[in-house]
Structure 1
Amino acid sequence: MAKKARKGSGSAGTPATVALASAGIAFEARSYAHDPAETDFGGEAARELGIAPERVYKTLLVDVDGALAVGVVPVSGMLDLKAIAAARGGKRAVMADPALAERKTGYVVGGISPLGQRTPLPTVIDESARAHETVLVSGGKRGFDIELAPEDLARACDATWAPIGRA
């Protein structure tokens, strides 16, 4: 894995990569040609990059009892709303409005990264990520992912771990 984003990749300047570089965290920038007609953004990333879907994680914003939070789960599964509510000490979680998610994070849906968000939000990563040497998350735009060690992702997001994903 590269120590820094590849120079000249054109994607090294997203808030996500800037946050990782500032923190001194090793990552690899992974770009692919995004199909504008594609709506399964995580599935597309896994296919285009040739990575098992269990190693590609999606970033989802939820409202837990009136407070926004971030859930990071494999693209091969779904976010368990009851589990993330419990992980955040709440009773009920619902998916956040996409427009609100974009405003709070500074990213577009399909390119929301758990890293470098405009408004840092409490983040919970599904514990399944710990089973992999590296995982991929959105790098801050469609067609751009970041590969890094799960523990580094958690450190960079100041995240907690919990079983929040389901098949």
Structure 2
Amino acid sequence: MAKRKAPGGTPATAALTTAGITYVVREYTHDPRATSYGLEAAEALGVEPARVFKTLLADVDGTLVVGVVPVTGQLDLKALARAAGGRKAQMADPAAAERSTGYVVGGISPVGQKRRLATVVDATALDHDTVLVSGGRRGLDLELAPADLVAVTGASVSAISRP
């Protein structure tokens, strides 16, 4: 018999629950006119933007890799390629990112993806007691300890962002 998802649950919340990781669901009303999903989340939730992390996918030497960086910065593609053991990285095609993760752009969570991808979390995450990442849909963030994020995604930690 298949397990049912709790109402409003996502693959990300299911993965965290299954892993026994403590997290807090932080919901807000998403404005479709928002130009930055992460900054919108920080403002709507009243959190310091440096604690809100965005999930970006890049193609590193032909393989999709997840980069998790603060919304206050940008993904450094060269640093991500190095951290992933590759030579060259470019942003992934949004359709490929959606197919691979099972999430829509603007709501891609680093947790509970359809296919587990190599993941690199920016080292600045460790500067905070908790961080917020997308919960798998626009308007839903999950707050958890950075060490738990690293553990549940099997991520490595490296300096992959720039201001």
Q: What per-residue deviation string (whole Å, max 9, x for no partner) do you get for residues 46-105 of structure 1?
A: 010011110000000000000100000000000000000000111100000001100100
| 1-structure distance, mates of 2:89, 2:49 | 25
Q: Deviations over 1:129-151 (max 9, x none)?
A: 00000000000000000000000
Q: 2:76 aligns with which of 80, 85, 88?
A: 80
Write the distance in 2 (CA, Å) between the matches of 1:16 and 1:89: 26
Identity of matched residues, %: 61
User: 1:147-158 to 2 correspondence within 5 Å?
Assistant: 147-158=143-154
Residue 84 of structure 1: SS of its match in structure 2? helix
Matching residue within 16, 27, 32 for 1:20: 16
Q: How many residues are paired up?
A: 158
Amino acid at match of 2:21: I
Consecutive aligned runs of 4 or more in structure 1 exceeding 4 Å deviation: none
Q: CA deviation at 1:36?
A: 1.3
**Structure 1: runs of 5 or more not aligned:** 1-7
Residues 1-167 of structure 1 mapped to structure 2, 5 A cutoff? 10-11=7-8, 13-167=9-163
1:38: how far off? 1.4
TM score, norm. by length of structure 2: 0.95
Matches of 1:56 and 1:163 in 2, distance apart?
A: 16
2-side partners of 1:147 and 1:47: how far apart?
15
Q: Could you tell me how far apart the structure 1 residues matched to 2:78 and 2:154 are?
A: 21
Query: Residue deviations 1:100-120, cap 9 Å, x none?
Result: 100100000000000000011
Gaps of 5+ in 2: 1-5
